[in-house]
Amino acid sequence: MKTAVIWIEDGPQYFVANGDWTRFNDIIIGEDTGEALEDELNELIFDANGDYKIKFITLEEFAQAIRDGAQVIECGFAL
């Protein structure tokens, strides 16, 4: 399974993650919406230096992932 993620941080950005990330749908980091999930999401997204571990993709690549069967979620930071 793949998960197509709409990452909110100064506007939407997109990436595709391997595996089921649906537990992170609607998790907004810093709003105490699920502290354990926020911590887990942070560990998956950022390395120890605060750099992204994931690679952002274009909207067209994102749309193709959805056509290929990826589940869609939205998460990130409050705007």
pTM: 0.92
Domain count, the chain: 1
Residue 1 pLDDT > 80: yes
Cβ-based neighbours of 22, under 8 Å, separated by 6 or more: 3, 71, 73
User: CA-to-CA distance for 31 and 43, rounded, in angstroms?
Assistant: 17
16-57 residue pLDDT tens: 999 999 999 999 888 766 688 999 999 999 999 999 999 999
Residue 61 pLDDT > 90: yes
Q: Which domain holds residue 56?
A: 2-77
Taking each continuous run of H as one helix and of E as one strand, the counts in the chain are 2, 4
